[in-house]
Structure 1
């Protein structure tokens, strides 16, 4: 006895929009603010030709806004893309894994984190392997936060970075 494989029907695809008239850009950008998430996802399918990512509404709106402008006015020039790639390779030696880890975790060395607490502005400088606060090195933002507040806080949350590195 032979088994029949189930017949699968092809998934209907939405044709990808390749250009948008410049006169439609401003009205479309304004409409994004009041569009439902279901309609935003449908626009994503039309403009990108693939399923939308499982991210929040604000992210999808911002990416759609960029895509609308890109399709109307053109994207980055090839020279600009090449320059950005070269800069990325200088930072991580072309290792895409390192690039993603760094982008998802800690800020780049030299970044200054500012936080006002009890009427005093506190400045932390991110260094390659630690953080500098008031001229002293600290291994974690939580240690700095404990120094500032006198209580235990998540340092990444205290300085507005949301989560821990790699989280």
Structure 2
């Protein structure tokens, strides 16, 4: 990341030196510094996945068509659904409520809180309960 003392014009010069193109027409020193940092990170670590780029392109199209468009934040699990998890030989049932979850008579705001109540360690709740691909291989850790 660039120093806080560099001016907007200094950042534009840095952009031209690093990327060999004209800098974006940003008027904010902070935004220009963030854009440079992002570009450097992409060069080092790689950019967004193809799937994410496609999802963002579709969102951009929707916003261009309708500025008031409000995408849903995540798939909603219907109230009354039940997650069942066998953990270390014990069966755990978690009921989905309109607002949150119920596990053994206690209410929780998130699946992660329920997973913590079951295991005593921090987990990504959807992964623990098999709702995310990333968690499928880790759900039964000792």
Instruction: Pick the TM interval, shorter chain.
Output: 0.3 to 0.5
TM-score normalized by the length of structure 2:
0.42
Give the TM-score, by structure 1 length.
0.36
